Every structure is written in C-alpha cells, then in structure tokens.
C-alpha cells in the first residue's frame, strides 16, 4: 500500500513538495513551524478549491478559463451587497455568492452541453464578458475595507482550533471532493465521460450533462472563492484575480490531471496546488526575488508534464509513436 503510494504520481509529487518544504526549512527553521504550515495552507486554500473545480472540468475533456473572472464578478457583487446592506446575515450572503457563481458556471455548461460548442471558445468569451460585467457593475470603482462590515471581513479569518475558517472550508471541499470522486456514482461519471465519451454514452452516461455538472461545480466554487478572495484581501476591484485561471490550470497539470481527460485524482490536484503555494511562500524566505516565481512555476509545469508523458502510457497518442517505441513500451509493461 505504502509502496504503491510512493511509486504513484501523487507519491512522487508529495515527496517533492516535502523535500522542498524541509529544504527551505534547513535554511530558515521557522518556515517549517506549525503556524507557518497553517498559514501556507491558508494562503493556498482558494487555489485548492478552484483547482478542484477545474479538475472536474478537465476530467470531462473541457477547460474553464472563466474561473478568475467569475471570482472577480461574484466578489464584486457580494462586496457591493455588503456595502449597501451591512447588516445582512452572513449565511444568506454566502448562499448568494454560491448562487451567482453557479449561475455563471451554468452559462458555460449550457453552451457546452446543449450547443456542443468547444469549451475553450465559450469560456474565452465568458471570461471577457464576466470581467467586463464586473466593470459595468462597479463603474470601475473599488470597494475598500472601510466600506465592508466587520463580519464580512472577519469570517474567513475567524479561527476554530487556531485554524482559520478559510482553511476549514478548503478542507471540507477536499473531503467532499475525495468522497464524491472515489465513492459516488455521480463522481465516477466524470472519469467515465472524459476517459472514453463514446463508451460512456453507450453505458448510459449523458456526457453533455456530466460536462454541465462540471462547469456548474467549478462555477459554484468560483463564486464561493469570490467572496473569500474579496474578504481576505479586504478590497474588491475589477482586476481581482487577474490571470489566476492559468495558475489554477497549472495546479491541475502539476497535480497530474491529464488534459486529454479522464485521468487524475483529488489528492494529486491538492498537492499540485500546495506545490505552487510552497514555492510562492518559500521564495521570499530563501531570499530569491519574487520575479523568479513565474519562471520557476513554468519550469515545474514543463518538467511535470514531461514526467507524466514518459511514465504514463498515453493511450490517445500511442499510435503516433514509431513502431519500435510502441514495442518497447509494450514489453516494459
């Protein structure tokens, strides 16, 4: 069992993350303290939740480029609601942001499901539409921290067992996702729909509908993250989370979610996000300028996918390899 985990992608990846974590710890011991570990997880929570939503979408052979725009739009809406109705119940507000996020996700999903339009095109379009709508809604103005109520800003920071609510939310999402993807038929359908759409269709899975659900979940999580992002940084403006969609996809790719669909695990996805989180937190501590961050994550993505493509048998492309290579890999297995 343990041996199998260590040889799996998730195992290798978590070893790399741990090595990195303790490697930085050697240079500055306070990095591996419990408080700092909690704060790294807390910093990565939003990325983890968005990456799990994106994972479902990528599993069904689609891609959702509109997540960051969704975060910005929902964040702006709830920040403005909070600005004008400061005494509104927080539970109601969270339901609101879930609904708005779900609606934006459903728009993507419906286009993919009913019109069979490639998801990359649809989400490319809705990305600019949602971002623009944020501008129209706010007229380009910012909602600053003093315009937000205390409970609005305080909720994600509120600590239970000295762990912030933000982290608890991420943990809850991870657990639900793990259960759903491992044990529920609903979750397994995502693998079926992406792994072999034709076979899934003949075994009674409505592939389009599954893709719709993927976008719905991704949208709902983006909505939740919209509130969390805005309240965490205590400011809402049009450019919130600009370019974050690519970090989310990067987390999935590093975590071993195959972009051709049907392959990937919740744990891999979480570790992929944590990888980015540890790199971001470690750079300033080991004295590397943050300007290195992009190049490092780019290099890591490339290495991760190369490792992935050489270790896994890539069924979709195996036929394109030279005959002798195919023979070699066939003998190796």
Partner 1 sequence: MDTTIKKSVTPDVMLTSRLQKIFRWETFLILIVFLVCVMNSHLSPYFLDPWNLSDATFNFTEKALIALPMAMLIIAKEIDISVAAIISLSSTLMGFVAQMGAPVYAVAFVGILAGAACGLFNGILVTRFNIPSIVVTIGTMSLFRGISYILLGDQVVRDYPDGFEFFGQGYVYWVFSFELVLFVFFALVFYWLLHRTTFGRYTYAIGNNPTASYYSGIKVDKHRLILFSLVGVMSGIASVLLTSRLGSTRPSIAMGWELSIITMVVLGGVSILGGSGTIAGVVLAVILMGLVTFGMGLLNIPGIVMTIIVGVMLITVVSLPVLITFYKNKKAKAL
> Which residues in this chain contact partner 1 in the complex, by CB under 8 A?
63, 65, 111, 115-118, 120-122, 124-129, 131-133, 135-136, 140, 238, 243, 246, 249-250, 253, 259-260, 289, 291-299, 301-302, 305-306, 308-310, 314, 317, 319-321
Cα–Cα distance, 147 to 104 (Å, whole number): 26
Closest approach of Cβ 225 to partner 1, in Å?
20
Closest approach of Cβ 128 to partner 1, in Å?
4
Cα–Cα distance, 25 to 221 (Å, whole number): 33
Please give the span between the terminal C-alpha atoms of the chain, in angstroms, as a whole number.
20
Cα–Cα distance, 279 to 105 (Å, whole number): 30
Q: Which is nearer to partner 1, 201 or 233 (CB)?
A: 201
Using an 8 Å Cβ cutoff, are 255 and 271 in contact? Answer: yes
Judging by beta carbons within 10 Å of its beta carbon (0-12, 13-18, 19+), is residue 158 exposed, middle or buried?
Answer: exposed
Closest approach of Cβ 156 to partner 1, in Å?
28
Q: Which is nearer to partner 1, 18 or 120 (CB)?
A: 120
Cα–Cα distance, 24 to 220 (Å, whole number): 35
Angle at 298 between CA 23 and CA 11, to 5 degrees: 50
Closest approach of Cβ 62 to partner 1, in Å?
12
Closest approach of Cβ 291 to partner 1, in Å?
4
Q: Which is nearer to partner 1, 182 or 317 (CB)?
A: 317
Cα–Cα distance, 108 to 54 (Å, whole number): 13
Q: Which is nearer to partner 1, 199 or 294 (CB)?
A: 294
Closest approach of Cβ 248 to partner 1, in Å?
11
- Phi/psi for 288 (5° steps) reads -95, 140
Q: Which is nearer to partner 1, 5 or 292 (CB)?
A: 292
Closest approach of Cβ 69 to partner 1, in Å?
10
Q: Which is nearer to partner 1, 203 or 299 (CB)?
A: 299
Q: What is 138-149 written as a DSSP string? A: HTT--B-GGGS-
Closest approach of Cβ 116 to partner 1, in Å?
4
SS3 breakdown of the chain: % helix, strand, coil, rounded to 5? 75, 0, 20
Q: Which is nearer to partner 1, 35 or 310 (CB)?
A: 310
| Paired tokens of 139 | 């007229």
Give the chain's length: 333
Q: Which is nearer to partner 1, 1 or 295 (CB)?
A: 295
């Amino acid at each position: 069992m343990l041996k199998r985990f260590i040889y799996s992608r998730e195992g290798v990846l978590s070893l790399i993350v741990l090595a990195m974590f303790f490697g930085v710890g050697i240079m500055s011991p306070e990095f591996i303290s419990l408080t700092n570990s909690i704060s790294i997880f807390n910093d990565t929570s939003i990325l983890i939740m968005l990456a799990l939503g994106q994972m479902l979408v990528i599993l069904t052979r689609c891609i959702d480029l509109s997540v960051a725009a969704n975060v910005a739009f929902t964040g702006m809406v709830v920040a403005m609601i909070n600005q004008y109705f400061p005494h509104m119940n927080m539970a109601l507000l969270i339901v609101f942001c879930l609904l708005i996020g779900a609606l934006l996700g459903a728009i993507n999903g419906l286009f993919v499901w009913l019109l069979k339009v490639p998801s990359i095109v649809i989400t490319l379009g809705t990305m600019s539409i949602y971002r623009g709508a944020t501008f129209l809604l706010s007229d380009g103005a910012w909602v600053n921290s003093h315009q937000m109520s205390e409970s609005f800003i305080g909720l994600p920071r509120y600590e239970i067992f000295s762990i912030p609510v933000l982290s608890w939310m991420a943990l809850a999402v991870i657990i639900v996702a793990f259960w759903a993807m491992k044990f529920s038929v609903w979750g397994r359908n995502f693998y079926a729909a992406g792994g072999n759409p034709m076979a899934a269709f003949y075994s009674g899975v409505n592939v389009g509908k599954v893709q719709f659900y993927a976008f719905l979940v991704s949208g709902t999580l983006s909505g939740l993250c919209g509130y969390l992002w805005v309240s965490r940084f205590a400011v809402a403006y049009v450019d919130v989370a600009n370019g974050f969609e690519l970090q989310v996809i990067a987390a999935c790719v590093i975590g071993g979610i195959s972009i051709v669909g049907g392959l990937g695990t919740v744990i891999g996805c979480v570790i992929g996000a944590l990888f980015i989180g540890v790199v971001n937190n470690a750079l300033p501590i080991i004295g590397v300028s943050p300007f290195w961050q992009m190049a490092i994550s780019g290099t890591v993505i490339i290495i991760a996918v190369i490792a992935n493509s050489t270790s896994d048998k890539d069924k979709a492309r195996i036929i394109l390899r030279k005959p002798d290579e195919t023979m070699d890999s066939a003998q190796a297995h």
